[in-house]
Amino acid sequence: MSAAELIRRGKPLPCRPVPRHLLAPEDFARLPAALVMQPSLALLSLWAEPAMLHAAFLDEADGTLLLASTPAESGQYPALSPARPGAVRFERMIRDLWGLEAVGGLDLRAWLDHGSWPLTLPLSPRPARNGARPEQPVFLPVEGEGWHQIPVGPVHAGIIEPGHFRFTVQGELVVRLEQRLGYTHKGTLGLMLGKSPRTAARFAARISGDSTVAHSLAFAEAAEAASATTPPPRALWLRAAMLELERIANHLNDWGAICNDASFAWLHAQCGLLREGLLRAHMDAFGHRLMMDRVIPGGLATEPQPSGIAAILAALAAVEAALPGLVSIYEEHASLQDRMVGTGVLAPALAAGFAAGGVVGRASGRGFDARVAFPNGPYAGGPPTMALRQEGDVDARVRVRLAELTESIRLVRRILATLPPGEIHAPLPQRGGEGLALVEGFRGEIATWMALDDGGLIRAVFPRDPSWLQWPLLEAAMEGNIVADFPLCNKSFNCSYSGVDL
């Protein structure tokens, strides 16, 4: 029996757009072995509630979503990490937040909890007051001669999020990179519980500030699915335009920053200038440079200003006019290409094994884009052309971004030219339900699951940022590279610290 068949044998529980299958513990225990035999079933997310484990899968053979759950009343569940290595950090997070242990897990060290929280197991039925002193972090051992370790962070030289990187090197060659995150833990999940989706939307908008539109949209779509609410068409069209504008702004920023880390500051400055023009247009149109708190459950919080729409189109025209010249400069500077090509290679097999999405996955041959796989709104009438490469190096990740810049500009123009008239918001009814949403942010797909109680308040929620499945791959991509290339590799991935510190 395949893993997909095993999941479908579980009791179907109502969830939109696909049911959630409740598996008996003995059936869930068979799932890891079944997953080994069905490599096309990709693990999208893994999370918990008190005494209950949930998993989301994508069957890449036929493009269908599957949700599986199992009781964990004993505080334990069979680990999925031996079959899906992308489950490792989810399992560590589940142990820190809910106190559920993955039996047979590949790595049982703490992840988010550094020992400094006032309470341990904060999302479990009985959180305990923490009276122990924080322990020193434990890193994986390395055996052999001629190696040494370089600790970097969590405080960095730039104004960026905190994260600790432990390099094991031989000379300049990186033998192993290991990350330690959790420094930006905000208790987001706990803050959302018991609130209405409209109230909790502010927390979703701040999961990762550069993806505020994408996370807000995934959260809103999950709430709408749970409550069986359909936003007005005008709201759907405007949301899609905002999502693409966020992608353009971030791809410009990433491209410039990657070049800057290769000591090519001029291109960084040019990209920054173009991005600034776009952010100012966002302010004119939506009243916020990042468009934060504008996407809400049921639609939008505000109607864009006509003058702002004109400013956005003008900013896009400036980007489009500048791109050919900037790309030519990027390609013609041999010293820049020498730093990009062949650096930080992520093998396609690893990208597929971790179900990496977004630029990271598509630059290494994994052809998944939620806008194409599950189109809705304006995407249903014309999904984007997917940019796909096989090289898996820093240059390939740049090339995917450049292709997506052009495609997103085309999409925004088409969407704004075909905006339907009407309302921009529909109220959510106060009813119970469950919903799952996949939204293609600039880093990749965000998978948000939400369960509402009978009063329409959030009983449980889990927003999965793409970075969960991409951070481990950065460790792999750095192996065999020199220490000086870490900034290049790190920025070409551009994983979110905050997005995985729920």
For residues 408 and 411, what is the distance between their CA atoms, to the nearest angstrom? 5
How many residues are present in the chain? 502
Q: Residue 450: its pLDDT value, please? A: 98
Contact 92, 107 (CB under 8 A): yes
Instruction: Collapse the DSSP code of 253 into the 3-class scheme (helix H, G, I; strand E, B; otherwise coil) and give the result.
Output: helix
* Residue 478, CA distances (Å) to 84, 107, 118, 358, 497 in order: 21, 20, 35, 19, 18
CATH of 188-500, picked from 3.90.870.10, 3.40.630.10, 1.10.1040.10, 1.10.645.10, is 1.10.645.10
Element (H, E) at 338: helix 334-340
Q: Which of 462, 467, 463 is nearest to 496 (CA)?
A: 467
DSSP string covering 308-329: HHHHHHHHHHHHHHHHHHHHHH
Contact 446, 246 (CB under 8 A): no
Written as six digits, the tokens of 246 are 């966020």
Q: Is 303 exposed, middle or buried (0-12, 13-18, 19+ CB in 10 A)?
A: middle
Domain coordinates of the chain in residue numbers? 3-118, 188-500
Residue 136: what pLDDT?
82
> What pLDDT does residue 382 have?
85
Write out the H or E segment, with its range, that includes residue 3.
helix 3-8
Q: pLDDT value at position 366? A: 97
Instruction: Report the candidate in 346, 354, 351 with the shortest Cα–Cα distance to residue 45.
Output: 354
Number of H helices and E strands in the chain, helices first, is 17, 17
Question: Strand order of the sheet with strand 173-180?
Answer: 148-152, 164-170, 173-180
- Residue 350 in contact with residue 333, Cβ under 8 Å? no
Query: According to CATH, what is the number of the domain 3-118?
Result: 3.30.460.80
Strands, E, within 138-230: which ranges?
148-152, 164-170, 173-180
Q: Residue 95's pLDDT is what?
A: 96
Residue 88 one-letter amino acid: V
Partnered with residue 438 across adjacent β-strands are 447
* pLDDT of res. 132: 83
Strand partners, 149: 168
Give the pLDDT of the chain (502 residues) as one tens digit per residue: 899 999 999 999 999 999 999 999 999 999 999 999 999 999 999 999 999 999 999 999 999 999 999 999 999 999 999 999 999 999 999 999 999 999 999 999 999 999 989 999 999 999 999 988 888 888 888 777 888 999 998 998 778 889 999 999 998 899 999 999 999 899 999 999 999 999 999 999 999 999 999 999 999 999 999 999 999 999 999 999 999 999 999 999 999 999 999 999 999 999 999 999 999 999 999 999 999 999 999 999 999 999 999 999 999 999 999 999 999 999 999 999 999 999 999 999 999 999 999 999 999 999 999 999 999 999 998 889 999 999 999 999 999 999 999 999 999 999 999 999 999 999 999 999 999 999 999 999 999 999 999 999 999 999 999 999 999 999 999 999 999 999 999 999 999 999 999 8
* Token code pair at residue 84: 């899906």
Q: Where are the alpha helices (DSSP H) in 357-426?
A: 358-362, 370-373, 394-417
The set of residues, in sequence order, having a beta carbon less than 8 Å from that of 193 and lying 6+ positions away, is: 458, 459, 460, 461
Contact (CB, 8 A) for 428 and 198: yes
Cα dist. 472→87, 104, 147, 309 in Å? 11, 19, 22, 39
The pLDDT value given to residue 31: 97
Q: How many CA atoms lie within 13 Å of 134's alpha carbon, on the beta-carbon side? A: 9
